[in-house]
Amino acid sequence: DMEQITSHLQTLGISSIPTFPGVQLYPQHNPVDVYRAVIIQQLQTITGAEPEIINNAVQWTQDLKHGDLVLPVPALRLKGKKPDELAKEISEKFSSPLIQKPTAEKTYVRFFFEPKSYAKLVLPTILKQKGDYGFNPNLGLEDPKDPSSRKKKVIVEYSSPNIAKEFHTGHLRSTIIGGFLIKLYSRAGWDTLSMNYLGDWGKQYGVLAQGFEKYGSEEELQKEPVKHLNEVYVKINQDNSAELKPLNALKDRQKELEKLKMPKKPVKPAKGKPAEPVEPVVQEEFTEAHEKELAELPAKMEKVEQELAAIPSIDEKARQFFARMYNGDKEALQNWQRFRDLSIDAYIKMYARLNIEFDEYGGESTVKEANMEQAVVVLEKKGISEDSKGAIIVDLSKHGAPTLGKTLVKKRDGTSLYLTRDIAGNFERYEKHKFDKMIYVVASQQDVHMAQFFKILELMGEPYAEIVARCEHITFGMVKDPKGQTMSTRKGTVVSLADSLDHAKEFMHDVMRKNDDKYKQVADPESTADILAISAIMVQDYSGKRINNYNFDLEKMTSFEGDTGPYLQYSHARVCSMERKNPVPFEQLLAADLSLIMSKEGIELVRTLAQWPDVFLNTYKTREPVTVLSYLFKMTHVLSTCYEAKDASNHNAKTMSVMFAETPEKKAALMALYDCSRQVLGNGMRLLGLTPVERM
């Protein structure tokens, strides 16, 4: 590839691409980097600025009318000259066969590349690099300059549903975002490991076991394990909460009183803003009577607990059952193992629909008791934890994290907790995989848990602190119903994932059936409908920043209009259909005379396609799928303007239409451009985990 690029540059009188100390360019992956090199060289001569500073200053543009690259002159940090004068001077002195005379606009210098040579550099690169175009496998190397250096290792823990409980939209988001991160890191050259950390341990298995005894059906279990176990779990929980009502009432009261007791913080005005008049919050006084009530609550709760233990209640039986599991009782573990295995089988099928595959199915059950014990010992030894009525807690407000409050690390009965399992699990994963980086993709509802968990590891010192320094929590917002309301199991607004995938699939299938001619040509309409539905769901998820909430709106996401998954698929299928109707041999595409497609729209499309490697690089920095998605929508919009482009002299002729191409040469040039567009669109879609379709 490099040879082809250099020989092309030689025809333009450029003997080699200059390199600079401290500047990492990748001209073999990114055509724009050829231009960066030229700009750095010239700006260095004109202004005397350091290459590294120039490289950081030169930016790509979101909107091509501002240039292919733009330099905000003050970013060169040069003393003496006024930026607007320097901008003029640069534009006057700059000269390269690759780049038009730059325009100076106030303190900006805008660079527009020569379209013909740009097209000749960009399109053959895309045609040859195909599915690799835009990606950069050097980024994940220990030393990006040395291709033989070690690939860094990243673990992404994501999805992590709870067996028996429902697979809710929070898990769906974690799955989609985590799947994207794995693809992103692997296309950046990292060694990746997909990890699923199942919620597969705890008293709830004692609850589920009783539920299965009472409500379970072997047949249903085999057929749809995730759905059936969830139904059983919901039923037994209703029975359970009826029994637990008196105890929960006491617990709620305790929380209420503790809140009342907390000193009220005055509301601080935001910096730089005048204090807004605050409505005085009328809050009940914390009285002596309250104090007394609060003090008596633990004894009351204990009494209720004893009563429950005597019935024996579902909760108590669950506790006993889990104690047996915990102690390795074969019989108690048998059902649990079966539920777990069947659930994993079902998850694997569902993940496959989303183009996701896990390298490792771990879970809370796999965290070793000894490592949790060890962690608790370290916490005690270092004076981080303290005893609280037989339980062990950490008060993070005493350790420099006032907002993180108190948290339990060991219960009074000695059993471990979600948090303790995470603490020990973090260490175990490092022992096993020696990762350079580990990402936890977990919903924002657990921000506090994640912060507590990381903080405790940091306080524990080495080796824990060094390991957690390699870890990161990637958080995301909630999925709401179409009206923007929180979905809740109680209100029945939660839809099971499998159900909503199937529902979306049916919906898409109906849409496809409406066009009978096309429908008959689709080889496997069932699976195409499924792919379209999944695209719809994923694109909706990616449409905002990760932290934003969004509404799960089936109607909106499955529409072919607007920035939706089906629209992207339609754009892809449309180019594919054009390629089927106008086959041009690869060698002819490669040799096409690209000066024939230099209409305003054609140039814009070439420039947009050339941006893809920079978009990838930027996505690697933001790790926001929306960075890719916005680009794909912009690109497909430019593509569709090409289909409609009119000839300046003849307003009836569609000058970019393959069907109306005057000569075979023109046709080859157009097809080269469209083939490249299809390639870039497909590369972007696959990075997002979508499967581009060829017909629909």
CB of 378 vs ligand ARG, minimal distance in Å: 19
Half-sphere exposure of 100 (CA within 13 A, CB side): 15
Catalytic annotation, pick one of 29, 120, 152, 168: 168
Active site residue 171: yes
CB-wise, 134 or 161, nearer to ligand ARG? Answer: 161
Whether 133 and 683 have beta carbons less than 8 Å apart is answered as yes
Q: List strands edge to edge, sheet with 360-363.
A: 360-363, 191-198, 153-157, 437-441, 471-474
Q: Which of 171, 183, 410, 572 is catalytic?
A: 171
| Nearer residue to ligand ARG within complex by CB, 315 or 422 | 422
Nearest to ligand ARG of 179, 199 (CB atom): 199
| Rounded Cα–Cα distance for residues 120 and 14 (Å) | 15
Position closest to ligand ARG via CB? 199
SS3 content of the chain, % helix, strand, coil (to 5): 60, 10, 35
Q: How far apart are CA 60 and CA 51, in angstroms?
A: 17
Query: Is omega for the bond preceding 277 within 30 degrees of 0, making it cis?
Result: no
Residues of the shown chain interacting with ligand ARG in the complex, contacts defined by CB under 6 A: 157, 160-162, 197, 199, 422, 440, 442
Closer Cβ to ligand ARG, 165 or 666, answer by number:
165
Report the nearest approach of ligand ARG to the CB of residue 438 (Å).
10
Q: CB 342 → ligand ARG: shortest distance, Å?
A: 18
- Give the bridge partners for 387, in sequence order: 392
How would you class 380 by CB atoms within 10 Å of its CB: exposed for 0-12, middle for 13-18, buried for 19 or more?
middle
3-class DSSP state of 242 = helix
Task: Compare residues 471 and 531 and give the one whose CB is closer to ligand ARG.
Answer: 471
* Contact status, residue 554 vs residue 503, Cβ threshold 8 Å: yes
Smallest gap, in angstroms, from Cβ of residue 446 to ligand ARG? 6
What radius of gyration do the chain's Cα atoms show? 30
Residue closer to ligand ARG, measured from CB, 168 or 607: 168
| Closer residue to ligand ARG (CB): 292 or 432 | 432
Q: Quote the least distance from Cβ 173 to ligand ARG, whole Å.
A: 12
AA identity, residue 83:
P
Contact 409, 372 (CB under 8 A): no
**How large is the angle between the packed helices 288-310 and 225-261, nearest 10 degrees?**
150
219 token code pair: 């047949």
Judged by CB, which is closer to ligand ARG: 168, or 228? 168
661: helix, coil or strand?
coil
Query: How many C-beta neighbours within 10 Å does residue 641 have?
Result: 14
Minimum gap (Å) between residue 123 Cβ and ligand ARG: 45
CB of 172 to ligand ARG, least distance (A): 11
CB 612 within 8 A of CB 684: yes
Are 97 and 33 a contacting pair, CB within 8 Å? no
Beta partners for residue 162, in sequence order: 199
Nearer to ligand ARG, 225 or 692 (CB): 225
For the CB of residue 169, give the shortest distance to ligand ARG in the complex, in Å.
12
Q: Are 619 and 632 in contact (CB under 8 A)?
A: no
Neighbours of 259 (CB within 10 A): 10
Give me the least distance between CB of 569 and ligand ARG, in Å please: 31
Which residue among 29, 120, 152, 165 is the active-site one?
Answer: 165
The whole-angstrom separation of Cα 136 and Cα 687 is 13
Question: Does residue 399 have an active-site annotation?
Answer: no
Residue 114: C-alpha distances to residues 118, 125, 126, 585, 604 (Å): 6, 17, 18, 27, 12
Q: What is the length of the chain?
A: 696
Asked if 206 contacts 321 with a C-beta cutoff of 8 angstroms, the reply is: yes
Residues tagged active-site: 165, 168, 171
